């Protein structure tokens, strides 16, 4: 009986730990902008490592997301201490954003210098 109760408690507490830490794009965008302003040297170095990994895996191309809608799209990825994308925010909800959400959420990137790390991408 104790094992059942402990398992239930662990399952109840686990989902909030993996949930996004902000509720919308505006909050994520503010955090990404603040991060860049205050930690520019760290963010620049990690952005290079992130881009190298992303390009080597062809992540932004593999699901054909570019062709699912037109126009500019700003995406913000929330990356945890392990390098996992745990949050995905965009300024638009369309075929591109839904496609890239599926591509990026849960993906493991190199570990960031701190967490949460807010990675901003502007797609044209």
Per-residue pLDDT tens over the stretch 59-99: 988 899 999 999 999 999 999 999 999 999 999 999 999 99
Banded pLDDT at 5 (limits 50, 70, 90): very low
Q: pTM of the predicted model, to two decimals?
A: 0.81
Token digits of residue 75: 């995406």
Mean pLDDT of 30-49: 89
How many Cβ atoms from other residues are within 10 Å of residue 117's Cβ? 25
Which structural domain, as residue segments, surrounds residue 45? 21-123
In whole angstroms, give the CA distance from residue 60 to residue 101: 11
**119 domain-assigned:** yes
**How many structural domains is the chain composed of?**
1
Task: Report whether the peptide linkage leading into residue 88 is cis, meaning its omega lies within 30 degrees of zero.
Answer: no
């Amino acid at each position: 009986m104790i094992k059942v109760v402990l398992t239930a408690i662990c399952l109840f507490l686990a989902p909030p730990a993996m949930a996004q830490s902000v509720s919308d794009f505006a909050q994520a965008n503010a955090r990404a902008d603040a991060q860049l302003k205050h930690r520019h040297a760290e963010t620049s170095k990690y952005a290079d490592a992130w881009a190298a990994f992303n390009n080597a895996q062809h992540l932004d191309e593999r699901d054909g997301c570019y062709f699912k809608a037109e126009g500019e799209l700003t995406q913000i990825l929330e990356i945890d201490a392990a390098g996992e994308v745990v949050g995905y925010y965009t300024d638009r909800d369309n075929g591109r954003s839904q496609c890239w959400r599926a591509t990026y959420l849960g993906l493991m990137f190199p570990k960031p210098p701190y967490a949460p790390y807010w990675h901003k991408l502007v797609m044209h």
